[in-house]
Structure 1
Amino acid sequence: MLDKVKEVEEVFGALDAEIAAFQSRTSLHCAWGCGKCCFKSDIEATPLEFLPFAHHLYTQGVAYEWYEKLKNTNPAHCLILNPTQGGAGLCSQYQHRGLICRLFGYSARTNKYGGRELVTCQIIKSEQKENYEAAEAGLSNGEPVPVMSQYYMRLHAIDPVLTKEFFPINEAIRRAIEVILHYYAYRE
């Protein structure tokens, strides 16, 4: 199990580096303190995306507390989100955020014609219009960009079972915690 945590972290590290290069090249960025995309109620993820977070919670001695909170509440948005937090974003566990949280805004999807389309928010599209249009043109010219399906396939290669199904984000986190708690229950 710990090897899977490490493998997911390695995928995330590679993605973060690729996104940083994309942002540097395109100058696209989230507005300071925005987090508007995090308030969507239909965000879905796989349990594997949150395995590193669940492991972190376990090592910090708060996995059971988080598990109970996730089991007994159904917030409309991701439980990791902290709307009162100051700073660039509203994620209280930024380094442990899921794949969709990392990809949205700075990746592309492949359309039915095999072309790449930038996946980003309306705020970036409208408030950074020139940079957005230049980034879109760059995609057409073959400039590198993280492709969503490729990263989901990399996670799937780590564990097909934990990536087989998408769940509402809080359920995905809860299921990841269950996996970690189950793993350690037989090792203590």
Structure 2
Amino acid sequence: MIELLPKLEEIYAQMELEARRYQESESLLCPPMCGLCCESHEVQACVFEMMPAAIYLIQKHLDEKYYTLLESKPEVCIFYDAARQAEGCCSLYTKRAAICRLFGVSRVKDKYGNPRLSICKKIKEIYPERLGNILLSSDKILLAPAMEFWHRLVLNLAPPEYAILMPINQALKEALQICCWEFPFSDPNGPDLPKAA
């Protein structure tokens, strides 16, 4: 499974680029130093998409510290740091999960299967007029990054047993267990992974 992680990092980079281009083209940028999306208690990820974060923690010798923190069952993502003044209050921004990369603005389907925008509450408050114009244009809605498409790419890449969605902290904890105990690294720094977007 480790050999699949560079491909996961490529998907993350493509996802990041598409999301950023859309938000910039429609002037719907996330406000600076905002971490509202990270405050949700319902953020989910699969074990596979948390493996880059787990490997990073092992490489930096932070795995025991974070595993101990995870044992206390924190309600919000363990990487959320409200005091952090950059990168969405995420202390491990480049290794974040797929959903975290599309929280601001993405395209989803409504209960009838029609495309609609899923937009962060804060972005809605800041840009109501811009949003109103976008919602009048089905073309602009269709240009938004599709949450289901990107998440499906990630889940299809993952081995089935590691593609089950669960609370993000639980996914990280299991990823740490797998990376520490099931994949002993010959190099003490773990496998080399390309930098995430």
Alignment TM-score, normalising by the size of structure 2: 0.85
The answer to whether the aligner puts 1:75 opposite 2:74 as a matched pair is: yes
> Gaps (5+ residues) in structure 2?
188-197
Deviation of 1:179 (Å): 1.8
Q: Is the 8 A contact 1:31 1:88 kept in 2?
A: no
The answer to whether the aligner puts 1:8 opposite 2:8 as a matched pair is: yes
Percent identical:
27
Where does residue 84 of structure 1 map in the other structure?
A: 83
Q: Is the 8 A contact 1:26 1:134 kept in 2?
A: no
RMSD: 1.9
Counterpart code for 2:51: L
Distance 1:79 1:6, change over 3 A: same
Q: Which moved more, 1:89-98 or 1:177-186?
A: 177-186
Distance 1:10 1:88, change over 3 A: closer
Q: Is the 8 A contact 2:99 2:151 kept in 1?
A: no
Distance 1:4 1:183, change over 3 A: farther
Where does residue 169 of structure 1 map in the other structure?
A: 168
Distance 1:175 1:135, change over 3 A: farther
Where does residue 154 of structure 1 map in the other structure?
A: 153
Distance in 1 (CA, whole Å) between partners of 2:48 and 2:133 is 34
The answer to whether the aligner puts 1:25 opposite 2:29 as a matched pair is: no
Distance 1:60 1:116, change over 3 A: same
Alignment TM-score, normalising by the size of structure 1: 0.89
Deviation of 1:111 (Å): 2.2
Where does residue 43 of structure 1 map in the other structure?
A: 43
Q: Deviations over 1:138-167 (max 9, x none)?
A: 4x126422111111211122112211x221
The answer to whether the aligner puts 1:115 opposite 2:110 as a matched pair is: no
> Gaps (5+ residues) in structure 1?
none
Q: Deviations over 1:79-116 (max 9, x none)?
A: 10111111352101111111111111221112233321
Distance in 1 (CA, whole Å) between partners of 2:67 and 2:52 is 15
Distance 1:19 1:74, change over 3 A: same
Distance 1:63 1:123, change over 3 A: same
Distance in 2 (CA, whole Å) between partners of 1:89 and 1:152 is 20
Q: How many residues align?
A: 185
1:141 equivalent among 135, 139, 142: 139
Distance in 2 (CA, whole Å) between partners of 1:86 and 1:97 is 17
